[in-house]
Structures are given as C-alpha cells and as structure tokens.
A and B are shown apart, each in its own frame.
Chain A
Amino acid sequence: MGMTFAEKILAKYGGEKKVVPGQILTVKPDHLLMHDNAAPIVSKIQPELKEYGIFSKDLPVIVLDHVIPAAAEKNAVQHKQIREFVKKYKIKHFFDVGYGVCHQIIVEKGLALPGTVVLGSDSHTCSYGAIGAFSSGIDRTEAAALLLTGETWLKVPQSIKITLKGQLQRMVTAKDVILFIIGDVSASGADYCSVEFHGNVHRFSVEERFTIANMGVEMGAKNAVFPVDDVTISYLRSIGISKSKYASINPDTDATYDRELTYNLTMIGPVIAVPHSVDKVKPIKEVEGIEIQQCLLGTCTNGRLSDFQIAAKILKGKTVHPNVRLLILPASRKIYLDALKEGLIKTFIEAGGTVLPPGCGPCLGAHQGVLAPGERCLSTSNRNFKGRMGCNEAEIYLASPATVAMSAVHGRITDPRKEVRK
C-alpha cells in the first residue's frame, strides 16, 4: 500500500522505510525559520549557546519583517540583538528590514525546495507546500532547541486529500477557493492533518498555490501541499534553481487518506470571511454594501505580483473612496520592484493608495494601520480574529485582492464581477 506525501517525506527524514499516522519520529529539518522573534528565541538559550554553540549556521533563516522599520525602541533593541547574533554566529541566511515577509523570502530565495522539510516559529510556515516542501509551524521554545540540536520530534499526521475540479469564474481567485474550503471544513476541520491538493491544480500558478497553502493552518492543518509539476519546475527555474538541485516527493496513487473531499471550482464565487473567525465564510452577496474604512492589499497571503495585477486592473484610472484608506503591502522587495516596473504601484498611488514597506505591516496589529473602535477593514490577509489589527472593537473581513480593490473604490463591500473595465 502506498504512502501519502507526509508519510513519504517523514519516513525519509525519520530514516524509516514505512511509517503510519501517529508514529513519532526524530527529524532534522533543512531549515528553521525565525523572524523578529529570533530575539526572544535566542535570549532563552544564552548560556547554552556559549557552551555548545549553534548546531549549524546554515540551518536558521532569519527575516526581519514583523515590526519593520522598528516602531518603538523595544523593537529596535530586538532587531539590534538579532543582527549581533547573526554576526557572532555567522548565520548564513539573514534578511534585514526591507527584504519582505519571511514566508515569501523563503520561497523566493529557494530556501524551501520540493522534498525538503522546513520548520518555522510562525504558524504560516505551512506556505511552502506551494512548491512541494513539507513545512510546519512550531513555537519559540522549540525553535531555540532546534538552534542547539538541529532536530525535533514530529508525529506522522493523517492526510486529507482535496481534489479541485473545473475552472474558476472570471474575477474569482485562489483566495476565494481557500476561503470557501475553510468555510466548508471549519477552522478545526483539518486539525493535526496534512492537506494535499489534487485534481485540476496545474491551472494554479505557484503564487496562487502559495495563497492556498498559506491558509492551510486556518483549518488547523499541520501542512498543506501541492504536487510538484511543470508549474513548480518552471517557477523554480525562473528563480535560478534547476531540477537537479532537488528531489521532489509526490504521494503514491494508492495512498490511504483519512478523508477525501472534492470541490468544483466552477461553483465557487467571490466569498468573504466575516468577523471574527476565518471559517465564517459567506457568499459576497450576503455582505455586499457593508461600509469599510480601511482596505489592506498584500501580506504573505496576497502580496504577490499577480495579486497586484488584478487589483491594478480594477483600480486603473479610478480613485479610492474618500472614506477609505487603501494600504498596499508588497510581500517582498522583489515584488515591489516588479510592480514598479509594470506601473502597478503608480496605479495604486494615483488611485490614492498608500504603499507600505515590504513586511507584515498592519497584519498583526502592532503598527502601521492599526484600526480604531467601530472601524471595519477589508483585508487580503489570512486572519480576522478579534483584536488582530490592534483594536478589540474593530472588525476585519477577509477577501480576495479583486474584491478588496473593487470595494476600496466603492467604500463598501462590492462584488468584483461588477463593472470591470477590460
């Protein structure tokens, strides 16, 4: 009997021929992601670092992205501590303020490859399943232990197979697909599980797969993964990584799944996750007309070039509604530059948008675009929890870049399929 993706890759990393769900293995990941939280992580193990050093200077990847540029002295001090740590231990993969959001950087810089294992002290580490890596979030303490030992335990998860069929309608995007699925399976529907996407996936670009895998954790998944196909291979080639640099792992056709679900893409329309839970997903017509004060276009979920292209198509020659602040948050410096070259940034600024530095910006509510009580934000990010954008009495609605752009113009939640000029 065959094995699922998770079983296959964990068997390989755990040094076993065959594994079953529930089995616990000791695994050495290829990389360990940390961001601004590298400061509290490293400070936990000062004496141990002094005595034993770090396991490997190639293992950690540190990206400063969460509160950048430093919003307060405390952040500045932490950033400084991280830079000192990087110098002292000669950390190979360090990306200072301005490179972009950690998850985007990991993929863009080829630090997660098909068939590799990446763990990260951030819940959206599951994003790298977009290119066929096994990646999952851990906490700060575990990251600290990994810095010292290079290994940790992982339980072989059960797997869920999601088959996508049919074609998407115009102005309906990968974001609508994943929100729809989360609405269907619920915020805990994939708890502890590995989620595999099958079926008509070749029509999704790596950027779109990223959006979908990124939100795997919003249904509780341990990891979410796409098969490695021509789309993956040509994406990797475009960032300078040839096929000989990785050994992809795809699930066996006769693998056993805990559950199998099928979605017909043709039936999915634009959807919105309403406050305060990502699985409260409604068709757009049920929330159309709700007034909004802030729009966020970007983050690790939807801050890539194709997201900006679709938004710019809608915003071109239009102005953002006077009651709305439109914030643009590129997921990386490279995307920012590409968007500049294509004139997308110009379109956003002319429409009245404000471009923020590549990073997490308002997504976590620590700075830049914190909401006031009673305000509503329509966002392309991945979480609408109460208080997420820094204010307990504000509301966050989640949607696709197309819906956010269209709604920014109208000042209310608006269906992007309406009055789109070609």
Chain B
Amino acid sequence: MTVWKYGENINTDMLFPGKYTYTCSTAEEIKPHLLEDLDPLFAKNVKEGDLIFAGRNFGCGSSREQPVLGLKAVGIAAVVAGSFARIFYRSSINQGLLLIECPEVVKAYKQGDSVWLDVERGTISIGSNTFSFPKLPKEILAIRDSGGLLPYTREKLRRKKKR
C-alpha cells in the first residue's frame, strides 16, 4: 500500500484536466489522465488499497466527478485531507469514495510510516498513533450503504412505485 501525499488546494483541474471533461466519462477513459497535471507517476503506479493524503481544500474548483469516479475505479481506499471542497465531498458520497477529514493524520504522517485504516471502527493509525474520524450522519450513510447515490435513488423509486 502506498500513500500518495500532496499539498493544499489540490483542485479538480489537477485531479483531472478540464480539457477532457467532454471526451472522457467512463472509468477506463478517465484512469490514464488521473492527476495528470499534478503527478504523472500516479496513474502509472497507483494500486488498489492505496491512500491519498493532502492538505486543506482538496477537490476545490469545478464540479467534476471524473476524478472521483477514477479514484474509486483504481481502488483508492480513502482520501485523507485537512478539509475538502464541498462539491467534491458530495461527489464522493455519491460515488462511494471514502473521504476522511483529519488534518492531524496528515500532519503526523512522515514518508515511510506504516498506515492502518479501519473503516468499521472509524480509525486510522500512523505507526503507533491512532486517530479516530467522525462517522457520517445517518442520512448520508444510507447513500453510502446502498453503494452510491444512483443505487440509492433506484431503491427509493422502486419503493415509491410499490406503494
């Protein structure tokens, strides 16, 4: 498992350049361009279970869900950041990508540290330090538990129709 560490204000153009926004929409089309302008090695070397650590305001900028879809598709286990921009945050709920707002974790991490993520417990450990992150509100957990917003919406529509 690799931790990919980046700075503050990582915007959506860095995560997925705007010039592709009307030409790439499937995961396969998106993957090769992930983080293209930020870190050319990322798309080449990222592996399932990897983590991204970053500073404040991760995902700021355009409403662009391709990076979320892409990060989910390559198997990023979670993005841990100081804070997230709100459209990106919603988008991640909608796609079922785990975001963890925990500036202390990002601060504590040094390259080479071992990292352990326990989603069930809501904890993340850096070496011998364990940090807990807050659970999502129940309304939002319901979306995640359904596997994302579209499956959640489908269930909702089906229930409504039955009634």
Contacts and interface: CB of A to CB of B under 8 A. Distances in A.
Nearest to B55: A188
A103 to B, nearest CB: 13
A387 interface: yes
B85 A149 contact: no
Nearest to A363: B18
A153 B22 contact: no
Interface string B1-38: 00000001101011001110111010000000000010
Nearest to A151: B156
Interface stretch (A109-117, A135-143, A326-334, A347-355): A135-143
Given A24-B140, A137-B63, A187-B9, A366 B19 contact: yes
Contacts of B22: 36-37, 66-67, 74-75, 78, 366
A100 interface: no
Interface in A137-162: 137-142, 144-145, 148-149, 153
Nearest to A26: B139
A242 interface: no
How large, as a class, is the contact surface on chain B? 35 or more
Contact of B18 (A141, A191, A220, A366): A366
Instruction: Classify the secondary structure of A's interface with B.
Output: loop
A187 to B, nearest CB: 5
Nearest to B38: A386
Given A148-B153, A187-B9, A387 B85 contact: no
Interface string B60-85: 11111100100000000000000111
B44 to A, nearest CB: 17
B150 A139 contact: no
Nearest to A40: B25
Interface string A167-195: 00000000000000000000110011000
A385 B152 CA distance: 34
B17 A48 contact: no
Contacts of A144: 150, 153
Given A123-B87, A141-B91, A52 B18 contact: no
Interface residues of A, number: 49
Most chain A CB inside 10 Å of its own CB: which residue of B13, B68, B152:
B13
B86 interface: yes
Contacts of A390: 18-19
A306 interface: no
A117 to B, nearest CB: 16
A68 to B, nearest CB: 11
Contact of A24 (B90, B139, B161): B139
Contacts of B154: 48
Interface string A192-231: 1000000000000000000000000000101000000000
B95 A191 contact: no
A56 interface: no
A3 B66 CA distance: 37
Interface in A368-395: 370, 383, 385-388, 390, 392
Contact of A145 (B60, B85, B86, B149): B149
Nearest to A191: B83
Contacts of A44: 150
Contacts of B90: 138-139, 142
A48 B161 CA distance: 12
B15 to A, nearest CB: 10
Contacts of A142: 90-91, 94, 149
Contact of A385 (B13, B83, B86): B13
B41 interface: no
Interface of B: 8-9, 11, 13-14, 17-19, 21-23, 25, 37, 56-57, 60-65, 68, 83-87, 90-91, 94-95, 137, 139-140, 148-150, 152-154, 156-157, 161
Given A24-B140, A279-B9, A366-B19, 6 more contacts: A121-B63, A122-B62, A139-B94, A142-B149, A145-B94, A188-B85
4 smallest CB-CB distances across A and B, nearest first, come from A188-B57, A139-B91, A385-B13, A141-B94
